[in-house]
């Protein structure tokens, strides 16, 4: 059961969000934050897999202010997608993240608890969600950033990380050097219920739609840790 939701933006307008519902029609919510390729088959597939695990999965269109429904398939469009990231207004994105969080939590299909998961750019957006998005004074209940490429530049927000968090990193990631991962570990790794997992893989190892990046072994292992983590903190 899938559809697109319309989410009111905090400063006017509306944006789309892909929704996948579990067979029961109801469950804990999970926000799914896109890679630089937009809400594409890979991200919709992540939502569908989460729905299969019993979650109400919502993927907000984070590029809607630049080009609504922007979608590219894989690494062949890397330069164009990097250009989109460079134009992204992260301050406005925080408002959109909070709006998506509020929308998901208020949906009748949601049981109330909400987690977040994101990949690459989405890993950074997941960090922003965990450290900044608050609805009625409450933040999300769990966060899973996959290889968030901008987190090391946002560690001034580490004191605001209040929810259980599971970080995934590839140790051969050409876009996230080891020293950047070490900064994240130093700032957040010592917090209660925070884990940092490493894999013998490169960047975007979970993206099955990007053949030069996908690493099935690492992706399978990380997904197992992710589903166990979400079940522990959301169900």
Q: Is 120 an active-site residue? A: yes
From the list 179, 143, 146, the residue with the least C-alpha distance to 163 is 143
Helix boundaries (H) for 53-195:
78-87, 90-106, 121-132, 178-188
Q: Is 203 among the residues known to form the active site?
A: yes
198 in catalytic set: no
| Residue in 61, 74, 173, 209 annotated catalytic | 173
Instruction: Yes or no: say if 131 and 144 are a contact pair by the CB < 8 Å rule.
Output: no
Name the active-site residue from 203, 209, 215, 233.
Answer: 203
Is there a contact between 140 and 114 (Cβ–Cβ < 8 Å)?
yes
CA 228 to chain centre: 17
**CA of residue 172 relative to chain centroid, distance:** 21
Count of CA atoms in the C-beta half-sphere (13 A) of 230: 28
CA–centroid distance for 45 within its chain: 13
The residues, any chain, with a CB within 8 Å of residue 23's CB and separated by 6 or more, are 1, 51
List 120, 141, 152, 168, catalytic entry: 120
| Residues annotated as catalytic (active site), given as ranges | 120, 173, 203
């Amino acid at each position: 059961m899938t559809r697109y939701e319309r989410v009111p933006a905090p400063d006017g307008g509306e944006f789309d969000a892909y929704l996948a519902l579990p067979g029961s029609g109801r469950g804990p919510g999970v926000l799914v934050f896109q890679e630089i390729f937009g809400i594409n088959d890979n991200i919709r597939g992540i939502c569908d897999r989460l729905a299969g695990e019993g979650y109400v999965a919502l993927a907000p269109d984070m590029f809607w202010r630049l080009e609504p429904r922007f979608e590219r398939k894989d690494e062949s469009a890397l330069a164009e997608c990097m250009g989109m990231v460079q134009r992204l207004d992260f301050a406005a994105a925080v408002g959109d993240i909070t709006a998506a969080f509020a929308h998901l939590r208020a949906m009748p299909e949601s049981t109330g608890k909400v987690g977040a998961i994101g990949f690459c750019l989405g890993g950074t957006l997941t960090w922003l969600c965990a450290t900044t998005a608050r609805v009625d004074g409450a933040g999300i209940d769990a966060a899973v950033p996959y290889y968030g490429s901008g987190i090391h530049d946002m560690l001034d927000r580490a004191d605001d990380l209040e929810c259980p968090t599971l970080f995934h990193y590839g140790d051969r990631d050409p876009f996230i050097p080891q020293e950047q991962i070490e900064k994240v570990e130093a700032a957040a790794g010592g917090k209660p219920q925070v884990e940092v997992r490493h894999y013998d893989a490169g960047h975007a190892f979970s993206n099955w739609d990007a053949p030069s990046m996908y690493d099935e072994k690492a992706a399978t292992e990380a997904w197992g840790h992710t589903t166990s983590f979400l079940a522990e903190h959301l169900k």
